[in-house]
Amino acid sequence: MTDTVAGLRDEVQSWREAGYTVGFVPTMGALHAGHISLVRTALQRADRVVASVFVNPAQFAPGEDFETYPRTLEEDAAKLAEAGCHLLYAPTVREMYPTGFASAVHVDGPAFGLESQTRPHFFGGVATVVTKLLNQVRPDTAVFGEKDYQQLLVIRRLVTDLDLGVEIVAGETLREGDGLAMSSRNAYLSAEERGRAGQLNLILKDLAQEAASGKPLETSLLHARTRAEEVFDAVDYIEIRNAHTLQAIETETLEEPARVLAAVRVGKTRLIDNMAV
């Protein structure tokens, strides 16, 4: 493990000199099976793999859960070692944002709407830290989970626009037995909240099936939103968007590749999920 850019670059440089390709999996820690599946995907595509653990303050707004976000570095290190990850990079906030840090990356395109509606700060913080991490590691391949689908498309756009020269690979969403998408924030849920949370994927699955069957999209969306409002404490959004651009779909029925996406709140916990149509 290393917590400095210098230590990271020394190790990666030694791999490069040996002729190895490098994969990268960025995380915020509190690792679960979904994260480990991303590491395994990276191991299939590269000779050596770095995973980072960094809870990025730049993507949390005041009042969000930065201070309480689960931090389990020792357990994370053990899980990564067991999975075959070659290096854990766990920088401090000071290492990532030293005194005088004054730069940021602005993103638009797929960053517009959805998550940005309720978290306008979010993708700027993500884009800045991901740009820094990719420049620090300089991998051949980086793996990001499809659970954060909008984030995945934002990062692909970022890498293309800034000529970062990294292949961005999507990792499949892993789910619990009842279909709930795995997330570090699931640990916040009480038993009663956990039961309700498991219904989100069912609502999205039905919405995707209705859209694929040719039913009017507005009717299907209204049905899904009504069901969600009956189950959850708040519904930030449930939408059907173009799968490649996340632009709104203007036709009455589905005539293009699409994705259903949702964000809801159960108690104090915010859950996101998405599915292909």
Report whether 29 contacts 76 (CB < 8 A). Answer: yes
d(CA 31, CA 39): 11
Beta-strand ranges (E) seen in the chain are: 22-27, 48-53, 87-89, 141-145, 167-171, 234-242, 258-266, 269-276
Phi–psi pair at 29, nearest 5 degrees = 80, -160
Who contacts 198 (Cβ-Cβ below 8 Å, separation ≥6)? 176, 178, 179, 180
Active site residue 32: no
User: How far are the Cα atoms of 7, 74, 114, 164 from residue 87, in angstroms, in the given order?
Assistant: 10, 14, 34, 22
Structure tokens at 54: 């960094």
Phi–psi pair at 71, nearest 5 degrees = -125, 115
d(CA 81, CA 90): 14
d(CA 201, CA 224): 11
Report whether 144 contacts 152 (CB < 8 A). Answer: yes
Catalytic residue among 32, 35, 86, 106: 35
Residue in the structure block whose two tokens are 């969000």? 64
Report whether 24 contacts 87 (CB < 8 A). Answer: no
Closest CA to 224 of 171, 172, 273, 160: 273
Residues belonging to the active site: 35
